[in-house]
Amino acid sequence: MQIRREDVDHVADLARLSLSEEEREKMTRELNSILGHVDKLNELKTDGVQPTFHVLASLKNVTRKDEVIHGLDRDRALQNAPSQKSGCFAVPKTVE
């Protein structure tokens, strides 16, 4: 698979990244190199091999009891918010 400049732009847009002309070049090059490397895996014969759905294959069914424990006080929760108002995180308006 070949990564084109448009693909880089699309992914950057989805990730809300603003890339300079230079960075776009660099990303296109590097992503292709990474994919090329990963492509090597396709040479392996994997017939009959179970897919690895999760990296921690031996760890399963980790759950906790349904119990309420108080988390953060509101002041603490909001302390790193760039902007806050009325006990809420204030963000640029999202509907027109």
Is residue 85 within a helix (H) or strand (E), and if so which, with residue range? strand 84-85
Task: Name which of 22 and 67 has its Cβ closer to another protein.
Answer: 67
d(CA 12, CA 5) in angstroms, rounded, equals 11
Residue 3 CB, shortest distance to another protein, in Å, is 14
Task: Name which of 22 and 59 has its Cβ closer to another protein.
Answer: 59
* Residue 2 DSSP code: -
- 3-class DSSP assignment, residue 76: helix
Q: Which residues bind another protein (CB under 8 A)?
A: 10, 13-14, 16, 53-57, 59-74, 77-78, 83, 85-96
Question: Cβ(37)–Cβ(14) under 8 Å?
Answer: no
Task: Name which of 18 and 86 has its Cβ closer to another protein.
Answer: 86
Residue 59 CB, shortest distance to another protein, in Å, is 4
